[in-house]
Amino acid sequence: MGLFLVINATYGQVINKVPLSERITGYKMDVKLDTDAKTVSGNMEAFWVNKSTDMVPDIRMHLYMNAFRSNKTTFYTESGKSSWEISPGNKDQDLGWIEIKSFEDKNGTDLIPRMEYISPDDRNKEDRTVLKVMLPEPAKPGDTVFVKIKFKTKLPSHIRRTGYNDDYYFVAQWFPKFGVYEPAGMRYVSMGGWNCHQFHANSEFYSNHSVYDVTITLPANYVVGSGGMLISETINGEMKTQVLRAEDIVDFAWTAWPGYAVFKDKWKNVNIALLIPKDRVKQVERQFTAVKNALEYLDKNVGPYPWPHLTFVDPPSKGEGACGMEYTTLFTSGSSYFMPSFMHIPEMVTIHEFGHAYFMGILASNEFEEPWLDEGVNSFLEERIMDHYYGNNSGRIDHPLFKVSDVTLIRLSYTMFPTKQAVSNAEYSWNYPHGTYYMMSYFKTATWLHSLMGIVGEVTINDIFREYYRKWAFKHPSGKDFVNVVNEVVKKEHGEEFGLDMNWFFNQTLYGTGICDYKVSDIRNRKYQEPQGKIESADSINNIWLKTDSLFTATAQLERIGEVMLPVDVLIHFSNGDEVLEKWDGKERYKDFEYTGYREIKWVKIDPEFKIRMDVNYINNSMTTEPQKAPLHRLANKILSFIQLYLSIILL
Amino acid sequence: MKIFSSLKSGFSRALKSRKGVLIVWFSLFILVLVFIYPLRGSLNSAFGRSMITEKLADGFDIEVFADLGSTLKSLMSFFTAGFLCVYFTGFIMNAFLTAGLFGSVKKENGKFSAQEFFRSASKNFWSFLIITLIIDVIIYFYSGLFLGVPIVIVELSETISEKTAFTIVIFAIVFSILLLPVFLLVADYARAWKSANENESGFKAIGVGFSHIFKNFWPSYIMMILLILAQVVLGIFIILILSVWKPVTGGGVFLLLIISQLMLYARLLLKTWRYASVTSLMERMQTVDTADL
């Protein structure tokens, strides 16, 4: 009966008219928040459908909250050096864990004896974030495995995405959650199996799109925000119960705090709710503007946002550990009471985190194994949205005296990183060495995607994303699938202008470790030399201009310093005002463009429009025979005056 | 009344000491120039014949400098070390030069004499150094106390609302700013008194400075606020000019240098007005004290 109710509920439609995904998994939970014990406990009924042609002997579930059990878990042993990073704390109230109190199948068979904690990634015996449960009978193709679990989750005191602080709760990664069973042929899999990784310090998640029916009971004075739609709320004395439903999302998280003020707005048919600390009311308008900008841009350039509801949270300072995280129809931003309007940091966080509704929410890539496919792609869209709505030069900071674009900051976060060649983009998230996770997965990816846009054009890049969405929405695309979409669209729109496919690009940027750096080595203007000595055949120029002494052989000498070879434009400006735009495939180590005529080369610019954002040094991209020193001298003079002013103020 | 007559007298004394102010301006200019000139050369060399500097035409562009890579690190190290050298040298130089300025503003009707300026500067140098050092330490200490403690409390508190936290920090900043004129007055009274009593020690002068301010608190405080306001207004104007004006030709850059230096000279003149006004007020107080006797 339970099975029937759960499956019926999760296949039925409440929010959208038709299911958006296959719904391989589904969850029905009834839980209670104990604000004294800092626990969430209750019952869960869930199912997993074997859509493969395999006989599957077990199921695997994530028990993420066990990452906070001790300082010996994989999550903590991989973390940084500060005290809160190396340990969840010493006291019982600091720790986080999840306890399975009972675990039954559809027949009521106790599965607890069949449970085993496994550590597929690092064999860490102290890590209990992955649970393997042998089924009494292997699941046949098409079978639905139904489980009923009674669990208790203790939240950690130091919020790292999830946890509590005082009366603030952010409840994420909190329930037993199925891994993803990948049949042969899916992504990179040659043999069917569970993809269920441990909880790593530098990693996010991977799940099937599911339906969630969640009932939460908690003190009545708490304001709740979640990724679900509120179906009903009943108040019983000092407690209240909310019934929530979410369809076709990859994770369900919620937050509760008495201090939230709730604001509502609407974009097209999407009802947007913002939960924000009461004293941050001044930030409300800019937050709504940001999220509506993101909705508009992604709707136009990628695909529709398919849910009629969206909740976002601006956590208070005591919940700042929950800032900047995404749960598809719920995400967290980050601002503060005093956030000057010229600093677009809250907007950036909001736009980035909302973007994840697409890149891993709708296009549910494996964040464990290919973090670039969600974080990098999303950062690329983020920088475009920021600079589109907040100014090309002022996407991130827009002060009359100082402006910085989002594109610039993302590029610099890559180009200035000392170990940017340590590893390729195509690594598991926890395998990025020397602290390169963020640089690689976010910034390098966004930078090479921008370079790709520079090569194929903005129209094509938008078409690529629209096609990627059309083809892979509510599925699990891999990097290979994204590359295939790029190849298809580029070929369709540009023929073989860039070769048979774009693999040459991805081999260097996504899979390679090289850097891109083009340089103008020299400009040489030599007076044309009259032929002397024994000349057998005089060319036409010799014949015509033999005695002319204002004829020049002008050469622009270019060099490829980096390993990455990308096609670039070269703009050459001559003394008579002529300009020539050359196309260079960027492959040779050294390249000369030579011209003979009544003109000298005045300046040369490689990539004059800064399309190739991967180029790690723009300074050497240009050269002139008449350097303009005025801007540098102006800067030096200003520094001089500012220091004098400072000294006149600071010295008594 | 006392305030305005002191301000008026101070203004007249400051104007008479304009050559002394010129010496101060020139000394600071040369000091900073010695640091900036090689920096300018390094920038020229780092950018070479690149046209990327075009991007600086509209103002500072972070990307232009970030691409300097390891050269940027060297430049930053040079800048930091150079700035510290300039600061410490400036600190010592300032003690010497202000001793000269206080010497030249102490007599209402006297003419400026370079000889007297340098005599007073050398005679009172050590005492002025001690006075400025001690008052600086006091200012840094109380700033740390009144700004640091509330910020730490706010940071550590998990239950305090953001609005309250913001209010506390703003209150702490305002309180510290309002307290600053008191210590400036102590320093100025101490130096004015030391200048008039050259054989006394710097430590005693600080004591006298404290005693003078508490003896005549409100007129001194209000006068100092007015003087600081004038300096702040000019300071903001200088910052605006330097920030907004972006000449792109060599001639324009030179004009910017000339105008900014003129404004900096004016700012030093206002600072001298402060010294002279406090000296004048102190002299009036002493006259009243003598009359009372």
CB neighbours (10 Å) of residue A627? Answer: 16
Domain co-membership, A107 together with A145: yes
Give me the pLDDT at residue A366, please.
98
Residues A52 and A187 in one domain: yes
| A495 and A624 within one domain | no
pLDDT of res. A5: 52
Round to whole Å and give the CA distance between A286 and A272: 14
Q: Which residues in chain A have their CB less than 8 angstroms from residue B224's CB?
A: none
Confidence at residue B292, expressed as pLDDT on a 0 to 100 scale: 54
Residue contact A647–B54, C-beta within 8 A: no
Question: Quick check: A634 and B247 CB within 8 A?
Answer: yes
Whether residue A615 sits in one domain with residue A467: no
Cα–Cα distance measured from residue B33 to residue B28, given in angstroms and rounded to the nearest whole number: 8
Given a contact cutoff of 8 angstroms between Cβ atoms, the answer to whether A58 and A136 are in contact is no
Residues 6+ apart with CB under 8 A from A363: A374, A468, A469, A472, A473, A475, A477
Inter-chain touch B162–A629, beta carbons under 8 Å: no
Residue A266 in any domain: the answer is no
Test mutation, B49, B177, B229, chain A, max A CBs within 10 A: B49
Q: Is A328 left (phi over 0), alpha (psi -120 to 50) or beta?
A: left
Q: How many angstroms away from the CA of B234 is the closest CA of chain A? A: 10
Chain A residue at shortest CA distance from B253? A634
How far is the CA of A333 from the CAs of A15, A242, A295, A410, in angstroms?
Answer: 25, 24, 15, 19
- The predicted pLDDT at position A541 comes to 54
Q: What is the pLDDT of residues B223-280, one digit of tens each?
A: 999 999 999 999 999 999 999 899 989 999 999 999 999 999 999 999 999 999 999 9
Which residue range is the domain that position B218 belongs to? 2-292
Residues A563 and A485 placed together within one structural domain of the fold: no
CB < 8 Å from B in window 129-168 of A: 165-166
Among B29, B53, B140, B248, the residue to mutate for chain A (most A Cβ within 10 A)? B53
Q: What distance in Å separates residue B42's CA from the closest CA in chain A?
A: 10
Together in a domain, A56 and A188: yes
Q: Does B45 touch chain A (CB under 8 A)?
A: no
Instruction: Note the pTM of the prediction, 2 decimals.
Output: 0.92
A298 inside domain = no
Instruction: Encode pLDDT of B117-129 as tens digits.
Output: 999 999 999 999 9
Candidates A214, A94, A159, A127; CA nearest to A325 is: A159
Tell me which chain B residues have a C-beta less than 8 angstroms from the C-beta of A643. Answer: 32, 35-36, 83, 86
Q: Domain span at residue A559?
A: 518-531+546-631
In a domain, A153, yes or no: yes
Euclidean distance between CA atoms B76 and B82, whole angstroms: 10
Strands A254-257 and A260-267 come out as unpaired
Quick one: closest CA in A to B47, which residue? Answer: A619
Q: State how far residue A631 is from chain B, nearest Cα, in angstroms.
A: 6
Chain B residues in contact with A318 by the CB 8 A cut-off are 158-159
Residue A140: CATH number of its domain: 2.60.40
Task: Report the alpha-carbon distance of residue A118 to residue A72 in Å, rounded.
Answer: 15
What is the per-residue pLDDT for A498? 95
Instruction: Say if residue A482 is in the same domain as residue A557.
Output: no
* Whole-number average pLDDT of chain B: 91
Check: CB of residue A589 under 8 Å from CB of residue A559. yes
B contacts of A641 (beta carbons < 8 Å): 238, 242, 257, 260-261, 264
Cβ–Cβ < 8 Å for A272, A312: yes
Q: Tell me the residues of chain A between 222 and 281 that have a Cβ less than 8 Å away from chain B.
A: 277-280
Contacts of B253 in chain A (CB under 8 A): 630, 633-634, 637
State the 10-residue block means of pLDDT for chain A, 652 residues long: 54 84 96 98 97 97 97 92 83 95 96 97 96 97 97 96 96 98 95 97 95 98 97 96 97 97 97 95 96 98 98 94 96 92 96 98 98 97 97 92 94 94 92 92 97 98 98 98 98 96 97 97 87 61 57 95 97 96 96 94 97 96 93 92 94 88
B158 in reach of chain A (CB within 8 A): yes
- Out of A621, A632, A643, whose CB is closest to B44? A632
Question: What ipTM is given for this predicted complex?
Answer: 0.94
Whether A84 contacts chain B with CB within 8 A:
no
CB contact under 8 A, B50 and A605: no
- B94:A651 CB<8 A: yes
Measured in angstroms, the CA of B103 and the nearest CA of chain A are apart by 16
Q: Any chain B CB within 8 A of the CB of A191? A: no
Closest partner residue to B253 (CB to CB) among A278, A412, A633 is A633
Chain A, window 579-638: residues with a beta carbon less than 8 angstroms from a chain B beta carbon: 603, 605, 616-625, 627-638
> Which residues does chain A have within 8 Å of residue B56's beta carbon, measured at their own beta carbons?
631-632, 634-635
Is B28's pLDDT higher than 90?
A: yes
B-chain residues near A624 (CB < 8 A): 49-51
> Closest residue of B to A282, CA-based?
B163
A444 — contact with chain B (CB < 8 Å)?
no
Looking at the structure, tell me whether residues A582 and A439 fall in a common domain: no
Tally of domains in chain A: 3
Within 8 A of A317 by CB-CB distance, chain B residues are 162, 165
Pairwise CB contact (< 8 Å): B166 & A338 = yes
Cβ-based neighbour number of residue A537 at 10 Å: 6
Is residue A362 situated within a structural domain? no
A633/B250 touch (CB, cutoff 8 Å), yes or no: yes
Domain count, chain B: 1
B62–A616: do the CB atoms touch at under 8 Å? no
Q: How far apart are CA A375 and CA A353, in angstroms?
A: 10
Contact A619 B52 (CB under 8 A): yes
Main-chain phi, psi angles of A444, to 5 degrees:
-65, -45
Cross-chain residue pair B53–A628, CB shorter than 8 Å: yes
Q: Is B272 on the interface with A (CB under 8 A)?
A: no
| Residue A39 and residue A83 in one domain | yes
* Cβ–Cβ below 8 Å for B247 and A619: no
| Segment 180-199 of chain B within 8 Å of chain A by CB | 184, 187
Tell me: do A113 and A184 sit in the same domain.
yes
User: Is any Cβ of chain B less than 8 angstroms from the Cβ of A642?
Assistant: yes
Residue A652's pLDDT is 85
Sign of the Cα pseudo-torsion (A54, A57, A62, A67, in order)? negative
pLDDT tens track for B192-235 = 999 999 888 999 999 999 999 888 899 999 999 999 999 999 99
Is B269 in the A-facing interface, judged by CB distances under 8 Å?
Answer: no
Grouping H, G, I as helix, E, B as strand and the rest as coil, residue A257 is strand
- Does the beta-carbon distance from A166 to B159 stay under 8 Å? yes
Grouping H, G, I as helix, E, B as strand and the rest as coil, residue A377 is: helix
**In chain B, residues 116-135 whose CB comes closer than 8 Å to chain A:** 132, 135
Chain B residues whose CB is inside 8 A of the A631 CB are: 53-54, 56-57, 248
User: Residue A475: CB partners within 8 Å, gap ≥ 6?
Assistant: A21, A363, A364
Question: Helix, strand, coil shares of chain B as percentages rounded to 5?
Answer: 85, 0, 15
CA gyration radius for chain A?
A: 29
- Tell me which chain B residues have a C-beta less than 8 angstroms from the C-beta of A650: 87
Same domain, A61 and A164: yes
Pick from B52, B158, B264: CB nearest A165? B158
Interchain contact, B87 vs A648, CB within 8 Å: no
List C-alpha distances in Å: A565 to A417, A516, A588. 20, 7, 8
Q: Please, where are the H alpha helices in A37-82?
A: 74-77
Do A394 and A486 lie in one domain? The reply is: yes
Interchain contact B242–A (C-beta under 8 A): yes
Q: Is residue A481 part of a domain?
A: yes
- Looking at the domain assignment, is residue A165 inside a domain? yes
Domain-embedded: residue A253: no
